[in-house]
Amino acid sequence: MTEAMDAEFDTVAEWTAQAARHLGRDYYIPAGCRGSGNPAALDWLVERLGLRPGDSLLDCGAGVGGPAAYAEARSPVSPVLVEPQAGACRAARSLFPYPVFQAVADALPFSDNAFDAAWCLGVLCTTTAQREVLSELRRVVRAPGRIGLLVFVAQAGLTEDQQPEGNNFPTEQSLQRLLDEAGLRVEDRLRTADLPPIPKDWQDRVAAIDAALESRHGDDDAWKLSEENSGQMGRLLGDGLVSGEVLSLRRAD
């Protein structure tokens, strides 16, 4: 991981949980949704993956754990979190009561067919081991392979030097190839640009978390790096050079 990614996914993840604990329980889930900022994307995935009470749900690259907690609040699933960054693991454990494994998605510490469903949100483009991540998801989720992805996809015109350091955005073609190689098919998809706007009360809570982080850590290099990185990502999405895609997958066979 690059210094900027360490700052965002480790140091700032832990600070975020501290700020959320200070603000109160209502802030935990919005604070914990670091890549999948629009709850409508999570609603869509909960529905398309057919998450039912009691289903085990693996969240790969779970960050601070907000998406898993959101899913459990919608439909009482049993989440299990995997996250490589120690600070994010501590953050998730401090906010939510789920098992958290410090591990990478490309070498999952689980047996075959261990889960009913899994998702991996905003993670694929942060690793070069994309094929392995998809193969591992297919391996650990039992048939029919209910797997959700949020992927940031490079559009025509994105040049190498416009990619934030450490990001590897697949193209539509390379993503399709990776899915084929992993034995997965797209059952349904949507673009994050087509989602309804983020509800105001959710935005207000995110703004309160950001204000608390800015006031506590605004002079810190890790905060500045993390802000630079997310600003760059926002501009790429705004300029249409990268698009957010939400995919509901199943085993191809």
Ligand X SMILES: C[S@@+](CC[C@H](N)C(=O)[O-])C[C@H]1O[C@@H](n2cnc3c(N)ncnc32)[C@H](O)[C@@H]1O
Residues at the interface with ligand X (CB under 6 A): 9, 33-36, 60-63, 66-67, 83-85, 88, 104-106, 121-123, 126-127, 129
Q: How far is the C-alpha of 181 from the C-alpha of 188, rounded, in Å?
A: 18
* Identity of the residue, 78 or 143, whose beta carbon is nearer to ligand X in the bound complex: 78
Min dist CB 244 to ligand X, Å, is 11
* Identity of the residue, 124 or 184, whose beta carbon is nearer to ligand X in the bound complex: 124
Min dist CB 32 to ligand X, Å, is 7
Tokens of 145: 């392979």
Min dist CB 253 to ligand X, Å, is 25
Q: Would residue 145 be called left, alpha or beta, if left means φ above 0 and alpha means ψ between -120 and 50 degrees? A: left
Helix spans in 50-104 (H): 66-74, 86-95
Q: What is the DSSP letter of 163?
A: S
* Identity of the residue, 121 or 179, whose beta carbon is nearer to ligand X in the bound complex: 121
Min dist CB 1 to ligand X, Å, is 7
At 20, phi and psi to the nearest 5? Answer: -65, -40
* Identity of the residue, 36 or 135, whose beta carbon is nearer to ligand X in the bound complex: 36
Number of H helices, E strands in the chain: 10, 7
* Identity of the residue, 9 or 27, whose beta carbon is nearer to ligand X in the bound complex: 9
At 191, phi and psi to the nearest 5? Answer: -95, 140
Min dist CB 61 to ligand X, Å, is 3
**What CA–CA distances, in Å, run from 53 to 30, 57, 79?**
22, 10, 11
